[in-house]
Amino acid sequence: MVKRVVISGAGIGGLATALSCAKQGFDVTVLEQAKEIKEVGAGLQMSPNAMKVLQALDVSERLASVSFSPEYAGIRHYQTGAYFLKSPLGEAAVHRYDAPYWHLHRADLISVLYQACLENQVDIKLNTQVTGYQNQPKQVEVQTNQGKITADILVGADGIKSTTRQAMKGEEAVEFTGQVAWRGTINTKQHPDLHIPPEACVWAGPAKHLVTYYLRGGDLINFVAVEEKADWQHENWRQEGDINTLRASFSGWHPTVTKLLEACDESFIWALNSRPQLDSWRDGRVVLLGDACHPMLPFMAQGAAMAIEDAYVLSKSLKEHGDDIGLNHYQDARIPRTRAIQAMSKSNTSLFHMHGGAVGALRLNAVRLATRFMPSVANTKLDPVYGYDATKV
């Protein structure tokens, strides 16, 4: 019988797990290595599959005032601006998937989840990092830099550099994917001349792409620019990039893109890394979640969504099935799902970056023709992603 759950990491996955477990009646403690909960980050695309969980956790109403609902999802040519894909979102998403498609600032989501955790008696211990663990017959002893803690279940939700995963699987080298990402936000009130469509837009070009969308009701424009690099040594999410280098990299692109980057004062850059796939996410009473077990490229905008889905399925599995069967049920449900999304994200790399030169352009034109004459084509790909309901697994 599960009574006490300890979670390593107070990011989106960790806090969503803590809230889910608390609502299932468990005694929950979160261990966070940072000295304060301070998430800078930028934008997140919360698709209907993620929103169904946030609704079930009773936090969607708090997020409504800081959200932005895009009208379309689009893929456009990097120079001409022509649409390869323009798929309705907004009310169409609510009608089709029974949940909205929202853009949220990462800091806003973290803040709302954190407050909801406190209201549900979750104990959040800062400046505390998991350094190891010891499985015992009826509990797990969690070793931290502040001493030892015992629990029925330890959840490693501590990101791609997870110390819980390291304790479980041993040393692993981070795998550089050959791509780096730039991110930044622009205040729309300070730049009223920028005309960014109210959509989640991918600008596709040779060996790189750029995504734009609004945050906080339209007060901010968020962008993520991804380009292929042979090597990159920095792993810090807060590594400041040279804005002039970014502008130069996207020179010659559509004026909407170049004007956007001209308006940006600063940007941050980080490597897109990965880890080997795991056949099992658990070891006794210890289990992994989110980026700790299935990091993925952001080309389906599903990284945070997958962690949120994980959180709900894990808490429900533990409540309904107990520790051993519950943990097996969780990973049996989640491994196929996350691997499918990882594969889709990886596949979109070649699509967004026009791999194959003229052949790559032909693939995008094939998408354009298919969606023009058979609009259901886009739904065929997105329905299994957005239509999934983790609250019913």
Residues 294-308 have pLDDT tens digits of 999 999 999 999 999
pTM of the model: 0.94
Residues ≥6 apart with Cβ < 8 Å to 216: 66, 67, 68, 105, 108
Other beta carbons less than 10 A from residue 282's beta carbon: 18
Return the pLDDT at 365: 63
Contact between 297 and 160 under an 8 Å Cβ cutoff? The reply is no
Return the pLDDT at 221: 97
* Domains of the chain by residue range: 4-67+102-173+276-349
Share of the chain above pLDDT 90, in %: 81
| Averaged confidence pLDDT in the chain | 92
Q: Over the stretch 16-49, which tens digit does the pLDDT of each residue have?
A: 999 999 999 999 999 999 998 876 668 999 999 9
The residue-averaged pLDDT of 152-180 equals 94
Count the alpha carbons within 13 Å of 53 in the hemisphere toward its beta carbon.
Answer: 31
Return the pLDDT at 296: 93
The residue-averaged pLDDT of 282-303 equals 97
CA distance 76 to 82: 5
Tokens representing 77? Answer: 């040519």
Element (H, E) at 335: helix 323-352
CA distance 137 to 152: 10
Q: Pick the residue with more confidence: 174 or 251?
A: 251
Share of the chain above pLDDT 70, in %: 91
Contact between 160 and 288 under an 8 Å Cβ cutoff? The reply is no
Strands (E), 11-68: 27-31, 43-46
Q: Over the stretch 184-199, which tens digit does the pLDDT of each residue have?
A: 999 999 999 999 999 9
Q: Over the stretch 311-351, which tens digit does the pLDDT of each residue have?
A: 999 999 999 999 999 999 999 999 999 999 999 999 898 88
Return the pLDDT at 381: 80
Return the pLDDT at 173: 83
Strands 27-31, 123-125: parallel, antiparallel or unpaired by DSSP?
A: parallel
**β-bridge mates for residue 28, sequence order:** 5
The CATH topology of domain 4-67+102-173+276-349 is FAD/NAD(P)-binding domain (3.50.50)
Single-letter amino acid, residue 305:
A
Contact between 81 and 259 under an 8 Å Cβ cutoff? The reply is no
Q: Over the stretch 200-220, which tens digit does the pLDDT of each residue have?
A: 999 999 999 999 999 999 999
The residue-averaged pLDDT of 78-94 equals 93
Question: Which residue carries 């501590």 as its tokens?
Answer: 158
Q: Over the stretch 129-140, which tens digit does the pLDDT of each residue have?
A: 999 999 999 999
Question: Per-residue confidence at 373, pLDDT binned at 50, 70, 90?
Answer: very low
The residue-averaged pLDDT of 345-371 equals 72
